[in-house]
């Protein structure tokens, strides 16, 4: 039986392998970027470093969704909203760091506020010049929204497709709200033109590498956290809620509390992913709230394989790599390819890539074992007759 | 109500007095006041009607502590409705239903009744299909059910051996690491009985336990139910006469919502009323 303490989750084989691969790749990219000069054939460009960092943010987001969808059976089509909220909280901090280096040179107000003739900083922007406050908000805002939303939804026993639809409506409503200039988050341009983070210039290679490493550490920690959660008794209850909710309720568990717990933790992880994403891509705008993003996220997890955690990570990285390549070659066809991929995975690979691989592994192993003892194989029987 | 009626009311029910009713206070399992070990369940003059149809009609029945009681009756005799009344799913129109000396079941909610020590195994087995047999019992275990507790809890050695004891009792010790969805139909039924046992019930209600079982499975189920009697009080609702004959000491025949006959299998089978409505077919 698995050791179900947090320390146990840290030392279990899956988590170790995962961290080994993740840190190995990160270290390799870091070294290739830092050691070799730009004209060397082995040099990895800063673009690639940031691209990898972006993929890891997506992987963290996919991990968060896998926790609610794969383990708890809640298909959230609005997880992009939590990602974007975390991103906005980070963006607000980065905006305040610009100081008087903006186009208008106003030390107090971000450019877009000067442009809109605002006289003073809105109350909800206060505190974001402090990193610790922004960091707190990155976790708190998505978590709180998920808690309130989930409390209302799960208490009323909204489940299945209805829940998916209202999560979709949630992210859509937030998108419309953030598009408005009056809300004070930069309207449809969003927040951009960032200069530095904790005093490090965002343009320098070293900061980009630092951000990649920070993202890798965040992903690894989140992975261990999720392994711990899913390996605990809480994880088993959550799985029971997914498979037979009324039975779990009958046994005495308040299933809505369990769903709410998992949903909130997942939203916090999604917010963290968004916060790491924004300094690497250099912009956050309401487009991140678009329902399409949340649906794409579901495709990543489905492609990778649900309820394995690492499947979601693999799916996110593979699909996004495919997207990078595909949009370079045929940008207009990407959405069709994505849709086709989703249909194909749903029909042919219900367990995703991870399921396919483990199935084949099992079959290969069986064949290998079977050829070991000669008499049982059909070929051997044929020879006898 | 006249003084005489009051007096009758006071003496009518053996040992349960109105002023002794504890209302909704739930007794923790094991603390139930079951009198001097006489009866554990008192059903008196229970009437339940659905749209004028009387599913139960002045049903009066007592279950002794530690006994194994079988309840039979043709379809629509009120067997399931009776179970629903005991577990709080259905409220009777009139009549009283006491668990032990002091717990008025008609005033408690379903969960309160379950925690007070009445476990029910439903007809259709519903286990958690993706969990192993061991985990199924762990989930059903009588323990704190909050989220944070579940996150940090670790199984004590005591709990582990209790689960294993129960697994051995229901005959699933060898299959304890098998996923419940892969168990046979009979094994699922036993697993569910095990899950009910993990809630430490004093009264076990078992709804048609042998439906769809093979002959060997039926035999083992009979042995299992007999082994549970004594430690628990067991009420079995079943159609199969052979099965009932093999396990029951006392049989109650229900007909049209009330008790038609009660006694040993032989007594019941020779009762002319029973022969007329049920066995005579």
Which residues in chain A have Cβ-Cβ distances shorter than 8 Å to B29?
A: none
Residue at A344 is within a domain: yes
Q: Is the pLDDT of residue B167 over 50?
A: yes
Asked if B150 lies within 8 A of A229 by C-beta distance, the reply is no
pLDDT confidence band for A367 (50 / 70 / 90): confident
Pairing of strands B94-99, B39-50: antiparallel
Instruction: Compute the average pLDDT of residues B247-273.
Output: 85
Mind listing the pLDDT tens digit for each residue in B27-61?
Answer: 544 455 555 557 888 888 899 988 888 888 888 99
Q: Is the pLDDT of residue A375 over 50?
A: no
Higher pLDDT pick, A241 / B273: A241
Identify the closest residue of chain B to A2 by CA–CA distance.
B154
H helix or E strand, kind and range, residue B36: none
pLDDT score recorded for residue B120: 87
Which residue out of A232, A250, A307 would a mutagenesis test of the B interface target, given it has the greatest number of B Cβ atoms within 10 Å? A250
Give dist(CA B278, CA B281) in Å, integer: 6
| Closest CA–CA distance from residue A149 to any residue of chain B (Å) | 18
- Which of A9-13, A126-130, A338-342, B237-241 has the lowest average pLDDT? A9-13
Provide the residue range defining the domain that includes A264.
Answer: 6-373
Identify the closest residue of chain B to A1 by CA–CA distance.
B177
- Which of A168-182, B6-20, B195-209 has the lowest average pLDDT? B6-20
> Would an 8 Å CB–CB cutoff place A139 in contact with chain B?
no
pLDDT score recorded for residue B66: 86
Asked if A252 lies within 8 A of B147 by C-beta distance, the reply is no
Question: Considering CB atoms only, which of A4, A5, A247 is closest to B126?
Answer: A247
pLDDT score recorded for residue A84: 96
Q: Any residues with CB less than 8 A from the CB of A3 and at least 6 apart, and which?
A: A9, A11, A12
CATH classification of the domain holding B236:
3.40.50.300
Asked if A232 lies within 8 A of B147 by C-beta distance, the reply is no
| Closest CA–CA distance from residue A48 to any residue of chain B (Å) | 39
Domain count, chain B: 1
Domain count, chain A: 1
Asked if B150 lies within 8 A of A247 by C-beta distance, the reply is no
Instruction: Compute the average pLDDT of residues B185-192.
Output: 90
- Which of A76-80, A87-91, A249-253, A283-287 has the lowest average pLDDT? A249-253
Mind listing the pLDDT tens digit for each residue in A197-239?
Answer: 888 888 888 888 999 999 999 999 999 999 999 999 999 999 9
Provide the residue range defining the domain that includes B272.
Answer: 3-279
> Would an 8 Å CB–CB cutoff place A240 in contact with chain B?
yes
Residue at A378 is within a domain: no
Residue at A379 is within a domain: no
Residue at A1 is within a domain: no
């Amino acid at each position: 039986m698995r050791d179900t303490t947090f320390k146990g989750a840290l030392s279990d084989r899956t988590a170790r392998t995962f961290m080994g691969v993740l840190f190995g790749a990160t270290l390799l990219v870091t070294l290739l970027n830092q050691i070799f000069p730009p004209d060397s054939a082995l040099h990895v460009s800063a673009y690639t470093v940031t691209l990898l960092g972006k993929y890891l943010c997506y992987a963290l987001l996919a991990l968060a969704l896998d926790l609610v969808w794969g383990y708890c059976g809640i298909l959230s089509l609005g997880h992009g909203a939590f990602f974007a909220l975390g991103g906005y909280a980070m963006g607000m901090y980065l905006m305040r760091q610009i100081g008087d280096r903006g186009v208008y040179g106003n030390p107090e107000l971000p450019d877009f506020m000067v442009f809109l003739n605002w006289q003073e900083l809105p109350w909800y922007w206060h505190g974001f010049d402090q990193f610790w406050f922004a960091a707190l908000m990155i976790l708190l805002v998505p978590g709180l929204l998920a808690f309130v939303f989930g409390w209302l939804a799960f208490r009323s026993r909204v489940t299945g497709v209805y829940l998916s639809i209202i999560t979709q409506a949630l992210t859509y409503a937030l998108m419309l709200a953030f598009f408005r200039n009056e809300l004070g988050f930069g309207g449809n341009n969003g927040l951009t033109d960032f200069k530095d983070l904790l005093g490090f210039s965002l343009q320098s290679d070293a900061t980009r590498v630092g951000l990649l490493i920070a993202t890798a550490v965040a992903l690894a920690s989140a992975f261990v956290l999720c392994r711990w959660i899913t390996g605990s008794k809480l994880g088993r209850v959550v799985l029971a809620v997914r498979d037979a909710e009324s039975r779990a309720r009958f046994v005495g568990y308040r299933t809505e509390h369990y769903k709410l717990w998992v949903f909130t933790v997942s939203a916090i992880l999604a917010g963290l992913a968004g916060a790491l994403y924004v300094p690497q891509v250099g912009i956050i705008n309401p487009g991140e709230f678009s329902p399409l993003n949340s649906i794409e996220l579901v495709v990543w997890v489905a492609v990778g394989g649900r309820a394995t955690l690492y499947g979601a990570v693999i799916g996110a990285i593979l699909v996004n790599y495919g997207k990078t390549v595909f949009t370079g070659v045929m940008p207009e066809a990407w959405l069709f390819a994505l849709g086709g991929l989703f249909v194909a995975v749903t029909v042919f690979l219900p367990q995703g890539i991870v399921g396919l691989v483990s199935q084949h592994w099992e079959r290969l192993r069986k064949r290998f074992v079977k050829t070991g003892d000669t008499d049982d194989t059909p070929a051997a029987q044929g020879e006898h007759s | 109500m006249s003084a005489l009626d009051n007096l009758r009311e006071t003496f009518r029910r053996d040992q349960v007095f109105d002023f002794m009713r504890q209302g909704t206070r739930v007794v923790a399992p094991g603390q139930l006041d079951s009198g001097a070990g006489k009866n554990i369940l008192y059903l008196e003059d229970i009437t339940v009607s659905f749209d004028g149809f009387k599913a139960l009609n002045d049903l009066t029945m007592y279950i002794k502590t530690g006994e194994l009681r079988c309840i039979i009756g043709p379809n629509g005799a009120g067997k399931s409705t009776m179970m629903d009344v005991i577990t709080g799913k259905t409220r009777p129109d009139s009549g009283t239903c006491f668990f032990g000396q002091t717990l008025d079941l008609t005033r408690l909610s379903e969960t309160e009744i379950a925690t007070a020590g009445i476990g029910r195994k439903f007809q259709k087995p519903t286990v958690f299909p993706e969990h192993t047999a061991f985990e199924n019992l762990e989930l059903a275990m009588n323990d704190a059910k909050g989220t944070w507790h579940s996150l940090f809890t670790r199984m004590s050695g005591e709990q582990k051996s209790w689960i294993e004891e129960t697994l051995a009792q229901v005959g699933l010790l060898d299959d304890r690491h098998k996923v419940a969805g892969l168990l046979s139909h009979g094994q699922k039924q036993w697993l569910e009985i095990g899950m009910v046992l993990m809630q430490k019930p004093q009264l076990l209600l078992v709804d048609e336990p042998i439906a769809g079982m093979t002959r060997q499975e039926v035999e083992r189920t009979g042995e299992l139910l007999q082994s549970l009697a004594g430690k628990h009080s067991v009420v079995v609702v079943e159609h199969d006469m052979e099965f009932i004959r093999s396990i029951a000491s006392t049989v109650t025949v229900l007909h049209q919502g009330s008790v038609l006959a009660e006694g040993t299998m032989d007594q019941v089978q020779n009762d002319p009323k029973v022969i007329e409505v049920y066995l005579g077919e």
